[in-house]
Amino acid sequence: MERYKVIREIGDGTCGNVFRAYNIETNEIVAVKKMKRKFYHWEECISLREVKALQKLNHPNIVQLKEVTMENHELFFIFEHMDCNLYDVIRERSAPFSEEEIRKFMLQILQGLVYMHNNGYFHRDLKPENLLVTNGIVKIADFGLAREVCSSPPYTDYVSTRWYRAPEVLLQASAYTPSIDMWAIGAILAELFTLSPLFPGETETDQLYKICAVLGTPDHSLWPEGMNLPRSSSFQFFQIPPRNLWELIPNASLEALDLIKQLCSWDPRRRPTAEQALQHPFFNVRKWVPRPLQDASYSKMNEPRATPRLELDLWCFGKESDDLDLTLSLKPSSVSDV
Ligand SMILES: Nc1ncnc2c1ncn2[C@@H]1O[C@H](COP(=O)(O)OP(=O)(O)OP(=O)(O)O)[C@@H](O)[C@H]1O
């Protein structure tokens, strides 16, 4: 570690303290994460094989792990340095992000996730603090490490940040899939619109309550397996009807609301994969360019509230060139417009 000189502390996480530092040989600025607990053997605390795999992961939207070193029973991860995290970016915003800005963030996060999931890893603790930002570039951080160093087997004990925790984790399912990351992505997408968390539970029970208060109480038709999860039997589901998402996130387009709804499905099998999410019409909305409209459609559009309600299957948009024109002409990018 004598190659690195610490500049200042930049993060204090559950597992480690993060420092901005520079490599005195190359002058490169890096982030050094010093794990809080002591380590006595590599094998005791971490699967070296997995760390090596992590070092191999190379994607523009995943923070690069450059080096792992152990010194005096202390474990250090050396990462590429990023300017700030998405939590800080959200907190410092006084005005909402535009949908275009949100789309750019989400595209990058999902591209990183596709790569990660295709390589057999899933994050399990996606949250704005773990999405690092430099000049509009977003990178997923802290991936995979938490499981190795924070918990001991069985890994189902692992506790991710409550607000972004999928219901199957809250209900103590015995195994998780990458769809827990997709739930978190849905919650983060909603938060990018409103600048406040969608499910800000104060306890685990309150977390489930907050989810029910938005999605409505799940039942067998919505999530058959969920009814049999260990905690479900002892857990009194709150009987609450679903809210209209557009009331909660009024500045989101229909496409965005549809994507959030799909990502935050009670049933993990109904959530789109990262790859499928990237195919969602939310990412296909072209820049809205006003264009001269033909007489008939023009006069119709000028009638008060005469615009067709776009309660169509959003997946159909873009398939036909006419659909696309309709989308562009009507600019269905804000529910309040419809
Ligand atoms: N590569 C980096 N560049 C700049 N800042 C970083 C970097 N990695 C981490 N940080 C900062 O340090 C904070 C904590 O880092 P990290 O999430 O890796 O620690 P942690 O102990 O795993 O935290 P937790 O488990 O509580 O999420 C991040 O939210 C971020 O602000």
Q: What is the ipTM of this complex?
A: 0.95
Residue keyed to tokens 């990262």: 274
Beta carbon of 88 within 6 Å of any ligand 1 atom: no
CATH 1.10.510.10 in the chain, residues? 84-283
Beta carbon of 143 within 6 Å of any ligand 1 atom: no
Between the CA of 141 and the centroid of ligand 1 the distance, in Å, is 7
pLDDT of residue 307: 33
- What kind of architecture, by CATH, is found in domain 4-80? 2-Layer Sandwich (3.30)
What is the three-class DSSP state of 277? helix
pLDDT of residue 308: 30
Q: Are 180 and 188 in contact (CB under 8 A)?
A: no
Identify which of 89, 99, 130, 96 has the alpha carbon closest to the alpha carbon of residue 112.
130
Active site positions, annotated: 125
Residues paired with 68 in a beta bridge: 77
CA distance 123 to 249: 26
pLDDT of residue 252: 97
DSSP-H helix ranges across 93-224: 99-118, 145-150, 167-170, 179-194, 204-215
Beta carbon of 33 within 6 Å of any ligand 1 atom: yes
CATH 3.30.200.20 in the chain, residues? 4-80
DSSP run (H or E) holding 262: helix 254-263
pLDDT of residue 287: 53
pLDDT of residue 90: 96
CB contact set of 41 (below 8 Å; sequence gap of 6+): none
Beta carbon of 62 within 6 Å of any ligand 1 atom: no
**Ligand 1 site-directed mutation target among 8, 9, 10, 78, most atoms within 8 Å of CB:** 10
Identify which of 72, 81, 82, 100 has the alpha carbon closest to the alpha carbon of residue 22.
81
> Between 1.10.510.10, 1.10.3720.10, 3.40.50.300, 1.25.40.10, what CATH number should domain 84-283 receive?
1.10.510.10
Q: What is the pLDDT along the chain (338 residues), one digit of tens a residue?
A: 789 999 999 988 777 899 999 999 999 999 998 988 787 877 655 554 456 556 678 999 999 888 888 888 888 989 999 999 999 999 999 999 999 999 999 999 999 999 988 888 888 889 999 999 999 999 998 865 444 334 343 444 444 689 999 999 999 888 888 899 999 999 999 999 999 999 999 998 899 999 999 999 998 899 988 888 867 666 777 789 999 999 999 999 999 999 999 999 999 999 999 999 999 999 987 654 444 444 444 333 333 333 333 333 333 333 333 333 333 223 333 333 32
pLDDT of residue 261: 97
How much is the pTM? 0.80
